[in-house]
Structure 1
Amino acid sequence: MQVEAPNIKKWNVIYPVYINSKKTVTEGRRVSATKACENPTCIEIGDCCSYLKVPFAIELDKAYSRDFMQRGRVRVLLKREDGSLYNTDIGSKKQLMLRVAELIPKHHGRTKKQEPANTSTATTGPSKSGKGGKKKR
């Protein structure tokens, strides 16, 4: 349900940092670490918004102001022009962030990535014996 509208600048913005459990509050996280998810992407947030029937637009060329290496953001529209909600379960930006953070660990892209890792066996490399580390000066 990705919608292009001329008034997209008035939509709410969600950066992946807002729901990243690896970040601190000072780095930009806005939900509790226990409810946040690990390293979300804009695409995953967009997929969750689509699942929740909330109009969204992904802006990959934008960067988070506190960390310009963090690329991308998602714009969401919670209310219609008449003031009614698109999804009656989600009344605020905070509620949307919490629901998205719940859904991302179940995202099909993440579950597919984890399956091969569980079936493979870890092999240990050759152990180093003898000298190693820094050289003496």
Structure 2
Amino acid sequence: MNGELANIKKWVVFYPVYINSKKTVAEGRRISTAKACENPTCAEISDCCNHLKLVNAIEIDKAYPRDFMQRGRVRVQLRKEDGTLCNPAISSRKQLMLHVAELVPRHPGRNKKQEAPSSSSTSTAGTSQSKKGGRKKR
């Protein structure tokens, strides 16, 4: 197990804030807002890395230095011990961020959460409020 921990230290560190479209570059975002996704979690990033066939480990006790209230980071193995790439399509940290940011919005857990409440609440809330407001003013 001690050898495993030494290997993890060499893996790439991936904080969710790196691909969060809600954050600014000063707050830690590392890719453009057009390619970033909204509020990714460590679990979603880990699942996306698994989908890309990359070995990863979630470190839930770690925090991003600029925003220490946001807990968790993911360690990802880009290269094997002999230096060869684990996934030939991803050769750098930046490519990893872009691939994961593309996959997170299509995450199965995320689709259910965002689509159902946003579509139903906006359509019903907008029409009912405008009607009520109109009656009171008359």
Structure 1 stretches lacking a partner, 5+ long:
131-137
Q: Distance in 2 between matches of 1:50 and 1:75?
A: 12
AA aligned to 2:5 is P
AA aligned to 1:107 is H
Q: Greater share of helix residues, 1 or 2? A: 2
Confirm or deny that 1:9 pairs with 2:6: no
Matches within 5 A, 1:40-59: 40-59=40-59
Matches within 5 A, 1:39-78: 39-78=39-78
Count of residue pairs the alignment pairs up: 127
Identity across matched positions, percent: 63
Structure 2 stretches lacking a partner, 5+ long:
none
Cα RMSD between the aligned structures? 2.1
Q: Distance in 1 between matches of 2:31 and 2:116?
A: 31
- Structure 2-normalised TM-score? 0.83
Q: State the partner residue of 1:33.
A: 33
Q: State the partner residue of 2:124.
A: 122
AA aligned to 2:10 is K
Give the CA deviation at 1:119.
4.9
